[in-house]
Amino acid sequence: MATRKSLLDLTNISVPTHVAIIMDGNGRWAKQRGLPRQAGHRAGVENLRRVIDACVEFGIKILTIYAFSTENWGRPESEVRGLMRIFSRVLDQELNELHEQGVCLHHLGDLGGINASLQEKVLNALELTKDNDRLILNVAFNYGGRAEILHAVSEMLADNVSPTELNEQIFSSYLFTHGLPDPDLVIRTSGELRVSNFLIWQAAYAEFYPAPEYWPDFGREELFQALVAFSGRDRRFGLLSED
């Protein structure tokens, strides 16, 4: 049976540079408690604050979160409106603290698809935090991996990138994550085992960690256990093990 390492014992833990999280299970967390789904999303936001703090504490340099997918528009209108309200409120209430903490916000996805006032808040947050370097927080919002790839191809065609010069490095430079290393570890909460159109190019060699907890219950200790599991993985990138 795997032993659980005690908290804060970061010795012998290899901390990944880039962690990406599919924050799943807000709705089921709420349902389990007889609450509306929106209460689950609010609890999800509170938990995000805990996880950001833990990332800073553990020395993770890049955190990418899947906040709203291109497919999420298909949810009932009231839930979509509720989520937009939450994102807007988070930017109003949390931005200064994130900035003081040294968090640099990036957006992954299509900003054009969201309402003008939220767009303006996002752009303002990106500008305010652009020089921070303690933690890069990529927020995938109105994001889909396939849409990102199509967007990259379309930009490359517009730039007349020649088929003979095209390589993985050039292609990566057209993705929303350009300039950043690929995720080392992808965590999905709530026990689901799907990738769900998240970072489908960038996560080619990421280690996948399914966490059983619903997102609002995936806190500092659960993140630490994910790092313990990551440290035990033998990353081969298609090569042979050193042993």
Coil, helix or strand at residue 30: helix
Q: How far is the CB of 127 from ligand FPP (least distance, A)?
A: 18
Q: Identity (one letter) of the amino acid at 170? A: I
| Distance of alpha carbon 106 from the chain centroid | 11
Distance CA 81, CA 61 (A): 32
How many residues interact with ligand FPP (rule CB under 6 A)?
16
- According to the binding rule CB under 6 A, does residue 72 interact with ligand FPP? yes
Closest C-alpha among 223, 216, 219 to residue 185: 223
Catalytic residues, which ones? 24, 72
| Site for ligand FPP contains 129 (CB under 6 A) | no
Range in contact with ligand FPP (rule: CB under 6 A) among 20-28, 97-105, 109-117, 218-226: 20-28
Is the CB of 69 or the CB of 225 nearer to ligand FPP? 69
Nearest Cα to Cα of residue 41 among 68, 1, 3: 68
How far apart are the C-alpha atoms of 23 and 189, rounded to whole Å? 6
For the CB of residue 216, give the shortest distance to ligand FPP in the complex, in Å: 9
Residue 23 binding ligand FPP, by CB under 6 A: yes
Residues 25-44 contacting ligand FPP, CB under 6 A? 25-28, 41, 44
Q: Is the dihedral of CA 173, 177, 181, 183 positive or negative?
A: negative
Interface residues toward ligand FPP, by CB under 6 A: 23-28, 41, 44-45, 48, 67, 72, 86-87, 90, 139
